């Protein structure tokens, strides 16, 4: 209870307001409530006026924590967010931060809608639900039998959450069509168009295309503009799964990789991935207002009373498939206040620099082979390591079989010795390879050097 930090009455520069208490006098209460209303909007802002660079989205954020009004309210309102009255500060933080994210996506004036959800898989699930509601709202009441056969499209390299959503939402995984990718894991737009036409010829309705911005394994960015052209031509919902790659929107150097994202109908963006916010913090952003609410609202009388004393449009909870929600926004908002937009940009540029360092270190190094050519688009560096005993064996089935076992063995030894850990997986016809992903800007070039030393130390006798 921080009433001790309540300022002297009338102090114009007071930076915190104190808890409302049973024993506050009526004057104190009035002052507190008024101050709350006046100060909240101002103090939650994520940017201030000193312009840095030409792009208004990259103004330096405030990092003066003395004005964090919210800090004295946090413990009071920490529990849930279905109604404004239960978590007023967090509702405002969420609205403001979502608007800022939409501005960065490139939607005019940050207009649109959105909500924070418990992870990218659920955000992607929202996107499918909203697309279905947009084109076939009667499914909400009548079920999937009220709609024709609906088809979803996504890259063969996309995250498995699109498939999970197709199963959960009653569309069926067989109605999710996988799109071919080029050698670097990017969707081939011509394959999308061919498959859209094929689906229509079969009497199905192409509903939804997912373009991935930053695939899980290769870190590939699908060509959003070319995909958007096809979606517009055939009137299909375009979702961009930027769970992993959305963070690059914060970097003036790298955001071109998401060129066209502003044409999407919805975007998943997980600050808990590339931006370093502790898990969970994922946003689903929607270009058209009202769909989230229309899709999910049930207007429970015990939560959403129309006769409340405040503007009930702030009761954002009915947009969610959840009821109470974890307060994911606070971590993100606080980091943004502390680091600023430019701080996130530096974080991201640093990670991409490190992955470029790793790529350049091993691309011509003896015993290594890159899984795809050229510098990775994201921080995913995918490579095979050939122990000395494998280097003289000609390419063939035996070599493939032995190589397939190398990464699991080295990873197991890494875990046993506890020095480092790096993931591996096969992909399509390709046998197990290492996938090094960097999202921690505290990593250094010497950490990268150590990783390579460890792989060679542990793998030399395999």
Q: Looking at residues 127 to 186 of the shown chain, list those that interact with its own copies (rule: CB under 8 A).
A: 129, 139-146, 149, 159-161, 163-175
Q: How far is the CB of 175 from its own copies (least distance, A)?
A: 6
The single residue among 254, 263, 287, 411 that binds its own copies, judged by CB under 8 A, is: 411
The single residue among 11, 408, 445, 449 that binds its own copies, judged by CB under 8 A, is: 408
The single residue among 4, 22, 50, 396 that binds its own copies, judged by CB under 8 A, is: 22
The single residue among 192, 217, 291, 362 that binds its own copies, judged by CB under 8 A, is: 217
Q: For residue 460, how many other CB atoms are within 10 A of its CB?
A: 11
Alpha helix stretches (DSSP H) within 291-434: 291-296, 329-362, 388-391, 397-417
**Sequence-separated contacts (24+) of 397-403 with Cβ below 8 Å:** 400/431, 401/431, 403/431, 403/432
Nearer to its own copies, 144 or 334 (CB): 144
The single residue among 106, 110, 119, 340 that binds its own copies, judged by CB under 8 A, is: 119
Q: Is 32 in the site for its own copies (CB under 8 A)?
A: yes
Nearer to its own copies, 57 or 441 (CB): 441
Alpha helix stretches (DSSP H) within 86-178: 88-105, 120-135, 139-142, 161-168
Site string (67-106) toward its own copies, x via CB under 8 A: -----------xxx----x---------------------
Q: What angle do CA 166, 164, 184 make, to 5 degrees?
A: 95
- Residues in binding contact with its own copies, number by CB under 8 A: 88
The single residue among 108, 415, 444, 460 that binds its own copies, judged by CB under 8 A, is: 415
DSSP summary character for residue 110: G
DSSP summary character for residue 329: H
The token pair that represents 292 in the structure block:
């989230």
CA dihedral 205, 211, 216, 218 (to 10 degrees): 120
Q: How far is the CB of 324 from its own copies (least distance, A)?
A: 6
Q: Is 20 in the site for its own copies (CB under 8 A)?
A: yes
Q: Which stretch binds its own copies (CB under 8 A): 247-255, 366-374, 385-393, 414-422?
A: 414-422
Helices 88-105/26-44 angle, 10° precision: 10
* Cα–Cα distance for residue pair 299/314, rounded to 1 Å: 14
Q: Is 435 in the site for its own copies (CB under 8 A)?
A: yes
Q: Which stretch binds its own copies (CB under 8 A): 7-15, 29-37, 247-255, 331-339?
A: 29-37
Determine the distance from the C-alpha atom of residue 295 to the mean position of all C-alpha atoms in its chain, rounded to a whole number: 21
Q: Which stretch binds its own copies (CB under 8 A): 25-33, 93-101, 108-116, 183-191?
A: 25-33
Q: How far is the CB of 267 from its own copies (least distance, A)?
A: 17
Q: How far is the CB of 360 from its own copies (least distance, A)?
A: 23
Nearer to its own copies, 116 or 359 (CB): 116
* Cα–Cα distance for residue pair 175/419, rounded to 1 Å: 44
Nearer to its own copies, 228 or 455 (CB): 455
CB 250 within 8 A of CB 82: no
The single residue among 425, 441, 452, 456 that binds its own copies, judged by CB under 8 A, is: 425
Question: Which residue has tokens 């909500």?
Answer: 115
* Cα–Cα distance for residue pair 119/280, rounded to 1 Å: 6
Nearer to its own copies, 97 or 427 (CB): 427
* Cα–Cα distance for residue pair 428/156, rounded to 1 Å: 9
Q: Is 37 in the site for its own copies (CB under 8 A)?
A: no
Q: Which of residues 261-320 bind its own copies (CB under 8 A)?
A: 272, 278-280, 295-296, 298, 300-303, 305, 307-309, 320
Helices 224-234/189-201 angle, 10° precision: 20
Q: Is 3 in the site for its own copies (CB under 8 A)?
A: no
Q: Which stretch binds its own copies (CB under 8 A): 229-237, 332-340, 394-402, 411-419?
A: 411-419
Helices 397-417/445-459 angle, 10° precision: 120
Nearer to its own copies, 255 or 325 (CB): 325
How far are the Cα atoms of 17, 151, 281, 364 from residue 170, in angstroms, in the given order? 49, 12, 26, 48
The single residue among 92, 93, 98, 125 that binds its own copies, judged by CB under 8 A, is: 125
Q: How far is the CB of 406 from its own copies (least distance, A)?
A: 11
* Cα–Cα distance for residue pair 215/238, rounded to 1 Å: 16
Q: Which of residues 44-73 bind its own copies (CB under 8 A)?
A: none
Q: How far is the CB of 162 from its own copies (least distance, A)?
A: 10
Q: Which of residues 348-387 bind its own copies (CB under 8 A)?
A: none
Beta bridge mates, 90: none
Q: Which of residues 229-268 bind its own copies (CB under 8 A)?
A: none
Q: Which is it for strands 176-179 and 150-155: parallel, antiparallel or unpaired?
A: parallel
């Amino acid at each position: 209870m921080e009433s001790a930090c309540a300022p002297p009455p009338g102090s114009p520069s007071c930076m915190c307001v104190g808890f409302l208490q049973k024993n506050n006098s009526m004057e104190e209460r009035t002052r507190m409530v008024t101050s709350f209303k006046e100060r909240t909007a101002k103090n939650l802002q994520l940017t201030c006026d000193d312009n840095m660079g030409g792009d208004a989205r990259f103004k330096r954020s405030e990092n003066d924590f003395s004005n964090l009004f919210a800090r004295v309210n946090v413990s009071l309102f920490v529990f849930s967010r279905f109604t404004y009255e239960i978590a007023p500060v967090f509702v405002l933080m969420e609205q403001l931060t979502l608007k800022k994210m939409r501005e960065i996506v490139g939607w005019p004036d940050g207009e649109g809608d959105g909500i924070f959800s418990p992870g990218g898989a659920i955000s992607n699930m929202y996107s499918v639900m909203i697309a279905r509601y947009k084109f076939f709202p009667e499914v909400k009441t009548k079920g999937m039998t009220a709609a024709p056969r609906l088809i979803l499209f996504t890259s063969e390299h996309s995250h498995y959450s699109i498939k999970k959503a197709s199963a959960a939402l009653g569309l069926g995984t067989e109605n999710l069509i996988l799109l071919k990718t080029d050698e670097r894991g990017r969707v081939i737009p011509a394959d999308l168009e061919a498959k859209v036409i094929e689906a229509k010829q079969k009497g199905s309705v192409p509903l939804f295309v997912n373009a991935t911005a930053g695939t899980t394994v290769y870190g590939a960015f699908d060509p959003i503009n070319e995909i958007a052209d096809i979606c517009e031509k055939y009137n299909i919902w375009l979702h961009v799964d930027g769970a992993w790659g959305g963070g690059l929107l914060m970097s003036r150097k790298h955001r071109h990789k998401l060129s066209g994202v502003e044409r999407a109908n919805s975007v998943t963006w997980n600050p808990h991935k590339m931006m370093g916010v502790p898990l969970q913090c994922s946003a689903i952003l929607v270009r058209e207002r009202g769909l989230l609410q229309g899709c999910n609202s049930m207007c429970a009388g015990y939560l959403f009373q129309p006769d409340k004393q405040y503007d009930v449009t702030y009761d954002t909870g009915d947009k969610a498939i959840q009821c109470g929600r974890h307060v994911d926004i606070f971590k993100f908002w606080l980091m943004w206040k502390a680091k600023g937009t430019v701080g996130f940009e530096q974080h991201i540029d640093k990670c991409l620099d490190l992955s470029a360092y790793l790529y350049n270190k091993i691309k011509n190094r003896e015993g290594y082979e890159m899984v795809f050519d050229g510098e990775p688009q994201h921080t995913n560096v995918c490579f095979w390591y050939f122990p000395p005993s494998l280097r003289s064996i000609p390419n063939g089935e035996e070599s493939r079989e032995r190589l397939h076992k190398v990464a699991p063995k080295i990873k197991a030894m890494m875990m046993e010795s506890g020095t480092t850990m790096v993931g591996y997986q096969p992909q399509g016809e390709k046998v197990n390879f290492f996938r090094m992903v960097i999202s921690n800007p505290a990593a250094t070039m010497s950490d990268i050097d150590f990783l390579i030393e460890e792989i060679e130390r542990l793998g030399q006798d395999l």
